[in-house]
Structure 1
């Protein structure tokens, strides 16, 4: 989010510009998306059309719920929080990066086995957010993830299931055959 583009429209709406860049080569900017964030609960976001300098009438905008996976949650959160507390933008951006997900993100470290391999990888970081219904493995958010009160689930071909209470993990084939079982831990593995 271009923090210089942020403009407070009223008590609950902030306009801004989201820049799409290549992290390795930030210039030139790949694209720009002008948006309006609705800073209520739940947060919502609308894409603006026309020139960024034009004030968009709020009643003509189509707001939709934000999602962690498409980046709209991060854009809205940054726009809303940094305009509530001017001068805090850099600190907020760092906190969001370090947290690695929505505020309710939980982290477990699990034994995983890559598809088609007999190797077991110990202590792989799995993050999940019940509010965003999203799952990440090694900080890559997955479109196949879902979170319930009992389990965390992800995977396209075979399905991984983490029992949130017992902290065990199982991978099953599409037909239900168990392919792998392992354990998870809330503590990060010791550095070697």
Structure 2
């Protein structure tokens, strides 16, 4: 059996996209929960990997993405979840954390076979990432209180699909590294 990693999906964000108004209330509710999860993971020596959209800024790197998000109007949602010096960072182009990224290689190199997915958006990026993890035979856990959604009904359905169809464990974040 391999190791577990905490995957933080799309939390380095300026919230300048079309659905931001619908996402912000859920993000505000989950950020403190995800921040506590992140703290427990770091204390427990669990590797933390940020996988984040680059928002079409193909010349940027994670430091620039972070600086832009921290200088924006929703920095309060980014600051509690900011990467530390030990965090790994993978830039993605589309919904899944695996789609055309080096994440599979990184996980293999680090001996990681269990992913804990937190971040946003439950019914999009988290769902597609859980599916791709399932296809790669990776164990997956999704703390339902540490993911943010645009549409609550679709998020609930997505969590049920992850659990039923993909074998993911869906739980409360308090059950992890407590």
Query: TM-score over 0.5 for the alignment?
Result: no
Q: TM-score range by the shorter chain?
A: under 0.3
The structure whose Rg is larger is: 1
Greater share of strand residues, 1 or 2?
A: 1
Normalised TM-score (structure 2): 0.26
| Structure possessing the higher relative contact order (Cα contacts under 8 Å, 6 or more residues apart) | 2
Greater share of helix residues, 1 or 2?
A: 2
